[in-house]
Amino acid sequence: MDNFTFYSPTYFVFGKDQENDTGKYVKRFGGTRVLIHYGGGSAARSGLLDRVKASLEREGISYTELGGVVPNPRSGLVYKGIDLCRKEKVDFILAVGGGSVIDSAKAIAAGVPYDGDFWDFYKGKPVTEALPVGTVLTISAAGSEGSSNSVITHEDGMYKRGAGGDAMRPVFSILNPALTQTLPPYQIACGITDMMAHLFERYFTRTSDVEVTDRMIEGLLLAIINEAPKVVKDPADYQAQANIMWAGMMAHNNSCGVGRSQDWASHAMEHELSALYDVAHGAGLAVVFPAWMTYMLDRGGVNRLAQLAVRVWGCQMDFENPVNTAKAGIEKLKQFLKSIGMPINFSELGAKEEDIEEMAHKACYGDGGDGTIGGFVKLNKEDVINIYRLML
Amino acid sequence: MDNFTFYSPTYFVFGKDQENDTGKYVKRFGGTRVLIHYGGGSAARSGLLDRVKASLEREGISYTELGGVVPNPRSGLVYKGIDLCRKEKVDFILAVGGGSVIDSAKAIAAGVPYDGDFWDFYKGKPVTEALPVGTVLTISAAGSEGSSNSVITHEDGMYKRGAGGDAMRPVFSILNPALTQTLPPYQIACGITDMMAHLFERYFTRTSDVEVTDRMIEGLLLAIINEAPKVVKDPADYQAQANIMWAGMMAHNNSCGVGRSQDWASHAMEHELSALYDVAHGAGLAVVFPAWMTYMLDRGGVNRLAQLAVRVWGCQMDFENPVNTAKAGIEKLKQFLKSIGMPINFSELGAKEEDIEEMAHKACYGDGGDGTIGGFVKLNKEDVINIYRLML
């Protein structure tokens, strides 16, 4: 296990009706002039936005609004939000939505007190100062409600890049599983794939002696795999949604990723897919991960893949030929993703073979890249091309 | 899953040599006049105290000292600490030691700004204000470095009671596994038993649909069971100590105990043992837990015990007679505790049959008790007597 620091100071408020206390928490964490940031019309149509506003009004907190965040959130709205906050002297950003809304809110929060271009943070500058962000989560997926990260797509070149820093961790996050009971099963399944991917990225490590975090990751995966079919079949299943929601947070606040090298090549490859075709992040990951794992079979991945297969997928260990177990685990993952309605290849995503070269180039050399991606195995452009080809 | 809030804002600094930056973290969290609180002479003899003091001096932070915390820490030193802090205008408590030292530091921290008797908090008053506490952990066990709790024994009557409140969570905790490499195996094993007990107390719940926290608890137990024999056999095994150390924190910061009823009857029974005989908390728990589990076999505990036996102890499920599986799991626990050197009955603890009545009375009716203990099954005095008898 490597040396590390871990700091997750978010105040989590979990359960039914908790969004009605949003104003109370904004006040507790010092907000007096709030930007409410949200996505499309669903937060308004469902009445959620009205409940949140009413709770702010009860506390005498003024607010301004900025809606319109899209999946794979864009830089344009971030710039607009930064300007609006400065003009309105906003001192607190309240994200009402899913990972895209929260990521956009974090980008605005980092940008407001910063003199330069907020995109600097997405080119690798750590975020050390930001306005406080609170969240009211509406979908279990990205884990952004508890994480120190944000992913934004720059419209100039459609680069999708991540920024990070503890200053971006939300000061509070309200997690009401009931808000996810009306989501379409496809969107729920995308979220589930995303949280599983966050765990896989941490699982595939070159750090030895990481039993405790291995076991936590495996435990979370087992829980997700058990609960996922329930919520996809019946989104109204509150209890299953509650389990998925807490799992999604735990999967990405890094308590099970500390002290170990991580991978993140699959996220980098997916980012190019969703930037180019605007596919849901989770759907892209469902196509990328089995291909990446398959590529790892010849590159030192057999032991970890077999461990995952046995401990999480319940495969029998083939002690003579562990590679068979590793392959069986990848097959189980594919079947699972298919069973919850995820795509498993390029054509189901609407992705095109002729774009592989460009995507591989951007993944490896785009904005700040050094020509390789990944921590478990360093992949160069040729590797990335090979992995994309496995998705055809 | 029940509604809950979760707030764990401790800044964890994990790894070799990190205690040399103690002063930096005290400064970051606002300390200017520090009380260094510690136990016996080992922190001094090992040179740890000198390194911590040097780091404070490098940051120009003044300090005063209060040593002498004993295992099962006492109220007398807490009163002394509160007086000293007020006299010296201390604004930060730095605990250098294990769970006892940290618990004593938390009690002082809560007592300083409070007008009444600090013992009020140990009679049930929630702690909402306290001086900031930082810790330099020297043994993996209590999890107090990340928890909102403290346990103190009042010398007037030898009542051992707990207090809690997020205000008592340390602002930072420095976890250097190397500091645990020189501990005696018996003490290490006591710590391991304590962290396992923290997980058991949370595992035995009446709340349904808690798959995600179940799986996290099971994962942590699996990791502890895998690493424990290594550290008991060879305390110098840094990597195994590192796994145990992070597991101990995760076992008690409540991230895997949220949204579910918990039990804590075994801790209450153990507190009477260690208050009366001054045995190590972990050693007491090793005797109490198998007895408590056995008593649960006839009181609705079979399903949970069988789940624990299968998922954690690797027992085969007896689908016709799950009680056999449950019993096999308890047997595995006993064997495990014995294998790491723990006592398994009253006589090994030095406890006496004739004190059972008094201990049961104090556990159930002592200081603020309502005549019952436990959340999984409410136990009255007669139940507690029966369980103590199982330990003979």
Q: Rounded to a whole number, what is the distance in Å from the CA of A29 to chain B's nearest CA? A: 13
Across the interface, whether the CB atoms of A246 and B213 are under 8 A apart is answered yes
User: What pLDDT score was predicted for residue A368?
Assistant: 66
Nearest to A354 by CA among A302, A392, A387: A392
Domain ranges of chain A: 11-179, 184-390
- What token pair was written down for B148? 């909102």
Across the interface, whether the CB atoms of A255 and B250 are under 8 A apart is answered yes
**Dihedral sign, CA of A297, A302, A304, A307?**
positive
Interface test with B, best of A19, A216, A231, A307 (most B CBs within 10 A): A216
Interface test with B, best of A5, A169, A215 (most B CBs within 10 A): A215
Strand B4-14: give its sheet, edge to edge: A62-66, A33-38, A92-97, A133-137, A172-175, A4-14, B4-14, B172-175, B133-137, B92-97, B33-38, B62-66
Q: Which of A3, A14, A226 sits opposite B15 (nearest CB)?
A: A3
How far is it, in rounded angstroms, from Cα A187 to Cα A166?
A: 28
**Dihedral sign, CA of B154, B160, B165, B166?**
positive
Q: Which residues contact B291 (CB under 8 A, 6 or more apart)?
A: B387, B388, B390, B391
Higher pLDDT, B159 or B300: B300
Q: Rounded to a whole number, what is the distance in Å from the CA of B361 to chain A's nearest CA? A: 37
User: What pLDDT score was predicted for residue B235?
Assistant: 98
Find how far residue B108's CA is from the centre of its chain.
Answer: 18
How far is it, in rounded angstroms, from Cα A32 to Cα A36?
A: 12
How far is it, in rounded angstroms, from Cα A96 to Cα A135?
A: 6
Q: Is A92 helix (H, G, I), strand (E, B) or coil?
A: strand
Q: Show residues of chain A in contact with B192, CB under 8 Å.
A: none
Token pair 């609705």 in the structure block, residue:
B300
Across the interface, whether the CB atoms of A223 and B216 are under 8 A apart is answered yes
Q: Classify residue A379 by its DSSP letter.
A: B
Across the interface, whether the CB atoms of B4 and A18 are under 8 A apart is answered no
Q: Does B390 touch chain A (CB under 8 A)?
A: no
8 A C-beta contact, residue B133 and residue B151: no
Give the side-chain half-sphere CA count within 13 A for B61: 30
Q: Which residues contact A382 (CB under 8 A, 6 or more apart)?
A: none
Q: Does A317 touch chain B (CB under 8 A)?
A: no
User: What pLDDT score was predicted for residue A278?
Assistant: 86
Average pLDDT over residues B19-36: 98
Across the interface, whether the CB atoms of B212 and A223 are under 8 A apart is answered yes
Q: Does A50 touch chain B (CB under 8 A)?
A: no
For chain A, strand residue ranges (E) read 4-14, 33-38, 62-66, 92-97, 133-137, 149-154, 159-164, 172-175
Query: For chain B, what percent of residues have pLDDT higher than 70?
Result: 99
CB atoms closer than 10 angstroms to residue B77: 21
Q: What is the pLDDT of residues B344-389, one digit of tens each?
A: 999 999 999 999 999 999 999 976 678 999 999 999 999 999 999 9
In a 10 Å sphere around its CB, with 0-12 CB exposed, 13-18 middle and 19+ buried, how is residue B232 labelled? buried
Average pLDDT, chain B: 96
How far is it, in rounded angstroms, from Cα B36 to Cα B51?
A: 12
How far is it, in rounded angstroms, from Cα B335 to Cα B340?
A: 9
Q: Which long-range contacts (CB under 8 A, 24 or more apart) does A203-207 make?
A: A203/A304, A203/A308, A204/A262, A204/A263, A204/A296, A204/A301, A204/A304, A204/A375, A204/A376, A205/A260, A205/A261, A205/A262, A205/A263, A205/A304, A205/A375, A205/A376, A206/A261, A206/A375, A206/A376, A207/A1, A207/A2, A207/A259, A207/A260, A207/A261
Q: Nearest chain B Cα to A215, which residue?
A: B219
Q: Rounded to a whole number, what is the distance in Å from the CA of A255 to chain B's nearest CA? A: 9
**Dihedral sign, CA of B176, B182, B185, B186?**
negative
DSSP per-residue letters across A183-240? S-HHHHHHHHHHHHHHHHHHHS-S-S--HHHHHHHHHHHHHHHHHHHHHHH-TT-HHH
Across the interface, whether the CB atoms of B223 and A246 are under 8 A apart is answered no
What's the Cα-to-Cα distance from B178 to each of B16, B18, B26, B313, rounded to whole Å? 6, 10, 21, 29
User: What pLDDT score was predicted for residue B367?
Assistant: 65
How are beta strands B133-137 and B172-175 bridged, if at all? parallel
Across the interface, whether the CB atoms of A243 and B209 are under 8 A apart is answered yes
8 A C-beta contact, residue B126 and residue B167: no
Across the interface, whether the CB atoms of A1 and B239 are under 8 A apart is answered yes
pTM above 0.90, yes or no: yes
Average pLDDT over residues B294-310: 98
User: Between A and B, how many CB-CB pairs are < 8 A?
Assistant: 133
Q: Is A10 helix (H, G, I), strand (E, B) or coil?
A: strand
- What token pair was written down for B6? 């979760």
Tens of pLDDT, residue by residue, chain A (392 residues): 999 999 999 999 999 999 999 999 999 999 999 999 999 888 989 999 999 999 999 999 999 999 999 988 999 999 999 999 999 999 999 999 999 999 999 999 999 999 999 999 999 999 999 999 999 999 999 999 999 999 999 999 888 889 999 999 999 999 999 999 999 999 999 999 999 999 999 999 999 999 999 999 999 999 999 999 999 999 999 999 999 999 999 999 999 999 999 999 999 999 999 989 989 999 999 999 999 999 999 999 999 999 999 999 999 999 999 999 999 999 999 999 999 999 999 999 999 999 999 999 999 997 667 899 999 999 999 999 999 999 99
Across the interface, whether the CB atoms of A209 and B240 are under 8 A apart is answered yes
Read off the pLDDT band of B327 (50, 70, 90).
very high
Across the interface, whether the CB atoms of B246 and A14 are under 8 A apart is answered no
CATH class for domain A184-390? mainly alpha
Q: Does B196 touch chain A (CB under 8 A)?
A: no
Q: Rounded to a whole number, what is the distance in Å from the CA of A78 to chain B's nearest CA? A: 28
8 A C-beta contact, residue A75 and residue A26: no
Interface test with A, best of B14, B211, B221 (most A CBs within 10 A): B211
Q: Does B239 touch chain A (CB under 8 A)?
A: yes
How far is it, in rounded angstroms, from Cα A84 to Cα B14?
A: 40
User: What pLDDT score was predicted for residue B371?
Assistant: 94
Q: Which residues contact B108 (CB under 8 A, 6 or more apart)?
A: B35, B37, B78, B81, B82, B85, B93, B118, B131
Identify the H or E element spanning B136.
strand B133-137
Q: Does A186 touch chain B (CB under 8 A)?
A: no
Find how far residue B68's CA is from the centre of its chain.
Answer: 19
Q: Does A19 touch chain B (CB under 8 A)?
A: no
8 A C-beta contact, residue A149 and residue A168: yes
Q: Is A323 helix (H, G, I), strand (E, B) or coil?
A: helix
Q: Show residues of chain A in contact with B210, CB under 8 Å.
A: 243
Q: Show residues of chain B in contact with A173, CB under 8 Å.
A: none
User: What pLDDT score was predicted for residue A367?
Assistant: 65
Q: Classify residue A126 by its DSSP letter.
A: P
What's the Cα-to-Cα distance from B105 to each of A86, A109, A271, B168, rounded to whole Å? 43, 36, 48, 9
CATH ID of A11-179, from 3.10.28.10, 3.40.50.1970, 3.30.70.870, 3.90.79.10: 3.40.50.1970
Q: Does A214 touch chain B (CB under 8 A)?
A: yes
CA Rg value for chain A: 20
How far is it, in rounded angstroms, from Cα B84 to Cα B243?
A: 37
User: What pLDDT score was predicted for residue A213?
Assistant: 98
Q: What is the pLDDT of residues B114-157, one digit of tens each?
A: 999 999 999 999 999 999 999 999 999 999 999 999 999 999 98
Q: Show residues of chain A in contact with B250, CB under 8 Å.
A: 212, 216, 255
Q: Show residues of chain B in contact with A5, CB under 8 Å.
A: 11-14
Nearest to A108 by CA among A124, A128, A92, A88: A92
Q: Rounded to a whole number, what is the distance in Å from the CA of B387 to chain A's nearest CA? A: 32
Phi, psi values for residue A297, rounded to 5° = -55, -35
Q: Does A207 touch chain B (CB under 8 A)?
A: no
User: What pLDDT score was predicted for residue A40?
Assistant: 84
Q: Classify residue B153 by its DSSP letter.
A: E
User: What pLDDT score was predicted for residue A41?
Assistant: 81
Identify the H or E element spanning A385.
helix A381-390
CB atoms closer than 10 angstroms to residue B129: 12
Q: Does B19 touch chain A (CB under 8 A)?
A: no
Q: Does B180 touch chain A (CB under 8 A)?
A: no
How far is it, in rounded angstroms, from Cα A206 to Cα A185?
A: 35
Question: Which residues, listed in sequence order, are joined to residue B379 by a DSSP beta bridge?
Answer: B373
Question: Which residues, listed in sequence order, are joined to residue A163 by a DSSP beta bridge?
Answer: A150
User: What pLDDT score was predicted for residue A275?
Assistant: 85
How far is it, in rounded angstroms, from Cα B105 to Cα B111?
A: 10
What's the Cα-to-Cα distance from B95 to each of A97, A111, B36, B135, B183, rounded to whole Å? 41, 38, 6, 5, 18
Q: Does A258 touch chain B (CB under 8 A)?
A: yes
Find how far residue A158's CA is from the centre of its chain.
Answer: 18
Q: Which long-range contacts (CB under 8 A, 24 or more apart) does A45-52 make?
A: A46/A179, A46/A182, A48/A19, A48/A96, A48/A136, A48/A138, A48/A179, A49/A96, A51/A19, A51/A20, A51/A22, A52/A19, A52/A22, A52/A94, A52/A96, A52/A136
Predicted-assembly ipTM surpassing the 0.85 threshold = yes
Tell me which CATH homologous superfamily contains domain B185-390. Answer: Dehydroquinate synthase-like - alpha domain (1.20.1090.10)
Question: Which residues, listed in sequence order, are joined to residue B266 by a DSSP beta bridge?
Answer: none
How far is it, in rounded angstroms, from Cα A302 to Cα A293?
A: 9
Q: Does B13 touch chain A (CB under 8 A)?
A: yes
Identify the H or E element spanning B302.
helix B302-311
Q: Does B12 touch chain A (CB under 8 A)?
A: yes
